């Protein structure tokens, strides 16, 4: 029994509480320090799954493609993230649908703070934190190039900041929707990159990713404005109460603070869109340069073909002459 209790500490979420409802009692969860033990266990699980995907799927594909070292590293990164994003999108979509967060948008801010979480919501957040924490030692295990480490560290840090912030500040419902939108766009991007590595002439999926990216950015910005600008200021409990997990609602009651937060959100989304537009312009410029070079090469080939035809003879008064000046047409002998 002692070992069973210890095993449950690693495997299952802790801090369960019976919450009274109209139909009886409902078991829900809140966070605490014991969550770190559960996260540590799932970090090791994520490392094992990472190695399985790498060895049994990605390495076999890499042997057939014969990619360069740079493309090999990017292919492995995109392959791992495609598996993770696909799993997370399906899981997150199931959670938000079954919990009614999509069918009832008011639930994103109603009854804030959302201190008590359903089992599947808490378990999802613990697994997300475990995955992005496992990505740190994977930088060493995968022997990532030094030039790529700052970019990947910045990406991991942003995800950890978002997920941990939503989890600790009791904004888990809003965090779930934002993660779903972000993971959906990232999934299409890495799928497009995998297809591009297998066939460099196939860039159609990048256009699909561009549309999905713009749509998800618009939904993200709309969701921020809806929740921060209109939802949280209407929460009944506006007093600062850290013990109950109420960190924000009293601040959002002030117009200046609310507008400042919305301005920061808009500026951040604008910077993301600017980087996206810059990437698309650079990609289109490279595409048109490649097309123009192909046209020049085709024109040069045609001109060379014409020169080769002219080398076999020259024109004089509209008649093709041979090199010795005689006509290639055989003379017809007069009959005696």
Q: What is the pLDDT of residue 177?
A: 94
Instruction: Compute CA distances 239 → 111, 113, 246, 307, whole Å.
Output: 14, 11, 8, 87
* 183 domain residue, yes or no: yes
Residue 14 lies in a domain: yes
Task: State how far the Cα of 161 lies from the Cα of 216, in Å rounded to an integer.
Answer: 20
Share of the chain above pLDDT 90, in %: 33
Helix, strand, or coil (residue 116) = coil
Highest mean pLDDT among 27-31, 90-94, 110-114: 90-94
Is 274 within a domain? no
- Is the pLDDT at 326 greater than 70? The verdict is no
Q: For residue 90, what are its two tokens?
A: 């399906």
Mean pLDDT for the stretch of residues 158-170: 90
What does the pLDDT read at residue 252?
Answer: 59
Confirm whether 243 is domain-assigned. no
For residues 41-69, average pLDDT = 90
Which 8-state DSSP code applies to residue 312? Answer: T
Q: Which of 167-171, 217-221, 268-272 has the highest mean pLDDT?
A: 217-221
Q: Give the pLDDT score at 335.
A: 41
Beta bridge partners of residue 214, listed in sequence order: none
What secondary structure letter does DSSP report for 148? T
- Per-residue pLDDT tens for 255-303? 676 777 778 888 888 888 888 888 888 877 877 777 777 777 777 776 7
- Stretch among 80-94, 122-136, 216-230, 300-314 having the lowest mean pLDDT: 300-314
Cβ neighbours of residue 284 closer than 8 Å, sequence gap 6 or more: none
Q: Which of 26, 62, 50 is nearest to 198 (CA)?
A: 62
Q: How far apart are CA 279 and CA 193, in angstroms?
A: 14
Spatial CB neighbours of 142, under 8 Å, sequence gap ≥ 6: 54, 73, 76
Let me know if residue 246 belongs to a domain: no
| Number of independent structural domains in the chain | 1
CA distance 219 to 178: 9
| DSSP tag of 106 | G
Is residue 59 a part of any domain in this protein?
A: yes
- For the cut 50, the answer to whether the pLDDT of residue 49 exceeds it is yes
Within a domain: residue 77? yes
What is the average per-residue pLDDT within 310-325? 50
Largest CA distance in the chain: 127
CB 83 within 8 A of CB 186: no
> 């700052």: which residue's tokens?
150
For residue 27, give its domain range. Answer: 1-202
Answer whether residue 220 is part of any domain: no
């Amino acid at each position: 029994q002692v070992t069973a209790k210890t095993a449950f500490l690693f495997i299952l979420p802790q801090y369960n509480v019976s919450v009274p409802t109209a139909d009886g009692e409902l078991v829900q969860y809140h966070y605490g320090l014991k969550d770190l033990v559960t996260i540590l266990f799932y970090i090791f699980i994520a490392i094992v799954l990472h190695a399985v995907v790498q060895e049994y799927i990605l390495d076999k594909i890499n042997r057939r493609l014969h990619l360069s070292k740079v493309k090999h590293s990017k292919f492995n990164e995109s392959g791992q993230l495609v598996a993770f994003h696909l799993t997370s999108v399906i899981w997150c979509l199931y959670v938000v649908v079954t919990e009614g967060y999509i069918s009832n948008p008011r639930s994103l801010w109603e009854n804030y703070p959302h201190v008590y979480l359903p089992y599947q919501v808490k378990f999802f957040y613990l697994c997300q934190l475990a995955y992005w924490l496992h990505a740190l030692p994977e930088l060493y295990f995968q022997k990532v190039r030094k030039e790529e480490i700052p970019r990947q560290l910045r990406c991991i840090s942003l995800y950890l900041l978002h997920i941990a912030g939503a989890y600790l500040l009791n904004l888990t419902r809003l965090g779930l929707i934002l993660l779903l939108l972000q993971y959906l766009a990232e999934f299409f991007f890495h799928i497009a990159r995998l297809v591009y590595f297998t066939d460099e002439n196939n860039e159609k999926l990048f256009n699909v990713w561009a549309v999905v990216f713009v749509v998800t950015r618009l939904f993200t910005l709309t969701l921020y404005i809806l929740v921060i600008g209109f939802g949280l200021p209407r929460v009944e409990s506006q007093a600062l109460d850290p013990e109950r997990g109420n960190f924000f609602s009293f601040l959002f009651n002030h117009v200046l603070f609310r507008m400042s937060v919305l301005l920061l959100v808009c500026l951040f989304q604008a910077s993301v869109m600017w980087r996206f537009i810059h990437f698309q312009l650079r990609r289109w410029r490279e595409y048109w340069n490649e097309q123009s070079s192909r046209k020049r090469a085709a024109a040069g080939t045609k001109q060379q073909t014409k020169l080769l035809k002219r080398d076999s003879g020259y024109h004089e008064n509209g008649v093709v002459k041979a090199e010795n000046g005689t006509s290639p047409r055989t003379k017809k002998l007069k009959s005696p």
